[in-house]
Amino acid sequence: MSNLEGDVDNESRKRKKGVLNTECYKRNIIKTAKVKGDEHVNWAGRNIQAKQPSTTNCGCRYNCLQSFTEDNMLQIFNHLYSFNSKTEQDIYIQSLMELEPIARPRPRSYGEKSKPKAFNVKYSIQLNGVRTVVYKKSFMQTYSYSKNQLERLSHLLQKNKTPEDKRGKGPSGNAIPESENLKVREHIESFPTKVSHYSNSERRYLAANLNQRIIYDMFVAKERDFLLAILGNEKRFSYKYFCEYFRVNYDLGFGRPVVDACVTCEELQTKIKNPTLNDNAKKVAVAELMVHKRKAKKFYEKHTNEKNLTWEETKVELANKIKT
Reading the chain (324 residues) residue by residue, the pLDDT tens digits are 445 444 444 444 565 666 677 888 888 888 889 888 889 888 888 898 888 877 666 666 667 787 888 888 889 999 999 999 999 999 999 999 999 888 777 766 666 666 667 788 999 999 888 898 888 888 888 898 989 999 999 999 999 999 988 877 776 666 677 777 888 888 899 988 877 765 666 778 888 888 999 998 888 888 887 777 766 665 677 888 889 889 989 888 887 665 555 667 777 777 788 888 888 888 888 888 888 888 877 877 777 777 677 767 776 666 676 666
CA distance to 24, 76, 179, 315, per residue, from 53 (Å): 28, 9, 50, 74
148: Cβ–Cβ under 8 A, 6 or more apart, which residues?
A: none
- Break the chain into its structural domains and give their ranges: 20-50, 52-103+119-164, 178-256, 265-323
pLDDT at 87: 92
Strand, coil or helix: 260:
helix
Q: How far is CA 215 from CA 183, 203, 210, 220, 243, in A?
A: 13, 19, 7, 9, 10
Buried b or exposed e, range 198-226, using 16+ CB within 10 angstroms? eeeeebebbeeeeebeebbeebeeebeee
Torsion angles phi and psi, residue 311, rounded to 5: -65, -40
Q: Give the model's pLDDT for residue 241.
A: 85
Find residue 79's DSSP bridge partners: none
What pLDDT, on a 0 to 100 scale, did the predictor assign at position 305? 77
CB atoms under 10 Å from CB of 153, counted, come to 21
The confidence score (pLDDT) of residue 149 equals 92
Q: Give me the residues paired with residue 131 across strands.
A: 126
Q: What is the pLDDT of residue 242?
A: 87
**What global pTM score does this model have?**
0.53
